[in-house]
Amino acid sequence: MSDAYTGGCACGAIRYEIPGDPLVMIHCQCRDCQRMSGSGHGSYLTFAGAGVKLTGDATQWDMVADSGNLKTRGFCPRCGSPVYLGFAAMPQIFTVHAASLDDPSRYKPQLVAYRMRALAWDHLDPELLAFDKMPPG
């Protein structure tokens, strides 16, 4: 087991501490992640949800993902920073935005999801395994 992953929003009102290593580290190029990041993709670490310590009150909003599943995004109502995601179809996982880490250098992308929505100007590492949609379970 590695050191816990810690992070939170820009103003510090929301904090998390996550034991263990991520299950996956991913760039997502779906349209929703493009809008949320203000860029060509979102970058995320997904963990087993057990043992996650979350403090502060996030504002949450739900949306239907390209997969048809309900996705919940948690962000700080004070500074607006996106912090985490939850998925109704996978309540056992907890996903955080790579930029919300206290040490974002710990993020090491492993794959790309929703390559079919890639914008021509968003150049990701061509060596990463890429899927047109979400990778199979």
The answer to whether the CB of 107 falls within 8 A of the CB of 93 is no
Inform me whether the pLDDT recorded for 68 exceeds 60: yes
Residue range 40-45: mean pLDDT, rounded: 97
**Among the listed residues 68, 94, 69, 67, the one whose alpha carbon sits nearest the alpha carbon of residue 83:** 94
Pairing state between β 15-18 and 111-113: unpaired
Q: What is the CATH number of the domain that holds 108?
A: 2.170.150.70
Burial class (CB in 10 A: 0-12, 13-18, 19+), 6: middle
In a domain, 61, yes or no: yes
Give me the mean pLDDT over the 70-74 stretch. 95
List, in sequence order, every beta strand (DSSP E) within 5-117. Answer: 5-8, 15-18, 24-28, 42-48, 53-55, 59-64, 70-75, 82-87, 93-97, 111-113
Domain membership of residue 56 (yes or no) is: yes
Residue 137 lies in a domain: no
Structure tokens at 43: 């970058």
Whole domain around residue 38: which residue ranges?
Answer: 5-116
pLDDT reported for residue 2: 61
Q: Give the strand pairing for 15-18 and 70-75.
A: unpaired
Phi and psi, residue 100, nearest 5°: -85, -10
Q: How many domains does the chain have?
A: 1
In a domain, 122, yes or no: no
pTM value is 0.93
Is 121 inside a domain boundary?
no
Confidence bin at 67 (pLDDT 50/70/90):
confident
